[in-house]
């Protein structure tokens, strides 16, 4: 069984999922705490949230490296400084490379019901397809784009008149709750992966 007490959270934007994890981990009974926040750009609200919570931050920009492989290695090294049990990609708009994936379990959150609508525009693509129900997915990251084993999903109804922004806001409300619940359970109960099936707790 793997455990997940120390979290490094990766962000690229507003960081409301990060905030939900910061708020939850204020209670020691939650079982996990954010030990560092990493980003691929500066000047974002996600980093400000970490600073306000007095959590260490780091920024690793792709353009500061000769190529993607070098950035992948540098990101893994920055993560390693904080000795995480689990890396959480919460609105981090980059594919995470092998150096990190081979060193740590990485949890990812996506604003659609995978395997439908993977990629950077899950909300827009679901809306364009005309689905009546969408939602969010928490998964373990693998080398593909949103293809890893699914840990949990929640549904959100599409309403008449929804646009990308209104639908995404309703999804994010559900997504934050789901992410906090799953990370806490993984930390407290452990988890195991059997092929594509993820089981939280239950095993000895």
Which of these segments, 52-60, 104-112, 184-192, 194-202, binds ligand GRF (CB under 6 A)?
104-112
Q: Which of 107, 92, 80, 99 is nearest to 185 (CA)?
A: 107
**CA–centroid distance for 96 within its chain:** 11
Question: Is 121 annotated as catalytic?
Answer: no
Inter-residue contact 125 to 154 (CB < 8 Å): no
- What residues contact residue 121 under an 8 Å CB cut-off, 6+ apart? none
Separation between Cα atoms, residue 60 and residue 73, nearest integer Å: 10
Measured from the CB of residue 3, what is the shortest distance to ligand GRF in angstroms?
Answer: 24
**How many residues interact with ligand GRF (rule CB under 6 A)?**
15
- Distance, in Å, from the CA atom of 33 to the CA atom of 46, rounded to the nearest integer, reads 16
Q: Which is nearer to ligand GRF, 25 or 109 (CB)?
A: 109
Residue from 172, 182, 187, 191 binding ligand GRF (CB under 6 A): 172
Nearest distance from residue 194's CB to ligand GRF, in Å?
25
Of the residues 3, 5, 6, 14, which one makes contact with ligand GRF according to CB under 6 A: 14
Question: Choosing from 82, 110, 129, 168, which is the catalytic residue?
Answer: 110
User: Cβ distance 141 to 108 under 8 Å?
Assistant: yes
> Which of 5, 13, 56, 149 is the binder for ligand GRF (CB under 6 A)?
13
Residue least distant from ligand GRF (Cβ): 91
Contact region for ligand GRF (CB under 6 A) — 9-17, 27-35, 65-73, 182-190? 9-17
Integer angstrom CA distances of residue 24 from 20, 65, 146, 168, 176: 6, 35, 25, 22, 11
User: Which position among 25, 100, 109, 134 is part of the footprint of ligand GRF (CB under 6 A)?
Assistant: 109
The neighbour count for residue 2, using CB atoms within 10 Å, is 13
Q: Which stretch binds ligand GRF (CB under 6 A): 16-24, 54-62, 145-153, 155-163?
A: 16-24
Is residue 17 close enough to count as binding ligand GRF by CB under 6 A? yes
Q: How many CB atoms lie within 10 A of CB 163?
A: 10
Active site (catalytic) residues: 110
Binding site for ligand GRF (CB under 6 A): 11, 13-18, 46, 90-91, 109-111, 172, 175
């Amino acid at each position: 069984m793997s455990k997940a007490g120390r979290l490094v959270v990766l962000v690229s934007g507003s960081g409301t999922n990060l905030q939900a994890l910061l708020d939850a981990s204020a209670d020691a009974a939650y079982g996990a705490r954010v030990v560092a926040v990493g980003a691929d750009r500066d000047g974002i609200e996600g980093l400000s949230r970490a600073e306000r919570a007095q959590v260490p931050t780091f920024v690793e920009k792709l353009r500061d490296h000769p190529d993607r492989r070098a950035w992948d290695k540098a990101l893994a090294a920055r993560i390693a400084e904080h000795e995480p049990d689990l890396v959480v990609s919460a609105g981090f708009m980059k594919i995470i490379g092998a150096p990190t994936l081979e060193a740590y379990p990485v949890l990812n959150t996506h604003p659609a019901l995978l395997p439908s609508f993977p990629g950077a525009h899950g909300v827009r693509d679901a809306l364009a397809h005309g689905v009546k129900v969408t939602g969010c997915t928490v998964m373990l990251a693998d080398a593909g784009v949103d293809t890893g084993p699914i840990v949990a999903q929640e549904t959100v109804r599409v309403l008449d008149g929804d646009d990308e922004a209104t639908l995404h806001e309703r999804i994010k409300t559900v997504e934050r709750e789901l992410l906090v619940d799953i990370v806490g359970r993984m930390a407290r109960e452990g988890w195991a992966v059997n092929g594509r099936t993820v089981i939280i707790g239950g095993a000895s």
